[in-house]
Structure 1
Amino acid sequence: MSTKQRIEAKLEEAFKPESLAVIDESHLHAGHHHHGSDHHAAFDGSGETHFRVRLVSEAFSGESRVARQRAINKVLAEELSSGVHALAIEASAPGEPRRR
């Protein structure tokens, strides 16, 4: 199972979303250096390391933006500690306008 598939499965199970998009944006970061990594070479854009999550779930009703991000980060803690370098989160409750 790919990292993207694991992220999708975990978010589906935890939040029962009305809509979910997990977008692999790793290729957009080619040439960037990863701060704090043990290597000094520029990232080549390969692998599954940078993702954007767009998630609409009733579970987020009445929750702050920070609380929503913390909840998602908690569910994806294993991925964030083992290869996922960046996670952009766009989380909302049904009926809320999307933030960009």
Structure 2
Amino acid sequence: MKRSAEIETRIRQAFAVSELEVRNDSARHSGHAGDDGSGESHFHVRLRAPELKGQNRVAQHRMVHKALGDLTTEIHALSLDVAG
């Protein structure tokens, strides 16, 4: 399974998603540090979910990282745009 699909699956399992976009930005970082040649090393996630409401930014990011679990070790860069 592609990492972008796995990211989406894990987030949908962990949150009552009202909006989700998983964008693979790896091509923009080709040849940079962290580019493992897989084409799946850099991602941007835009997430809206009620569980995130009232949480500060650090708590929101921790919640997303927890949902992704061990997958975070396979990703070089993950930018998050999250809100409740």
Gaps of 5+ in 1: 35-42, 94-100
1:13 aligns with 2:18: no
Highest Rg: 1 or 2?
A: 1
Q: How far off its partner does 1:44 sit? A: 7.1
Picking from 56, 59, 63, the partner of 1:64 is 56
* Per-residue Cα deviation, 1:10-66 (whole angstroms, up to 9, x for no partner): 1011011100000000001112123xxxxxxxx376421100000000011110011
Runs of 4+ in structure 1 over 4 Å off: none
TM-score between both structures, scaled by the size of structure 1: 0.77
Question: More helix per residue: 1 or 2?
Answer: 2
**Aligned runs of 1:70-89 on 2, under 5 Å?**
70-81=62-73, 83-89=74-80
Size of the aligned set, in residue pairs, is 84
Q: How far off its partner does 1:78 sit? A: 1.2
> Identity of counterpart residues, as a percentage?
37
Picking from 81, 87, 90, the partner of 2:81 is 90
Secondary structure in 1 aligned to 2:79? strand
TM-score between both structures, scaled by the size of structure 2: 0.91
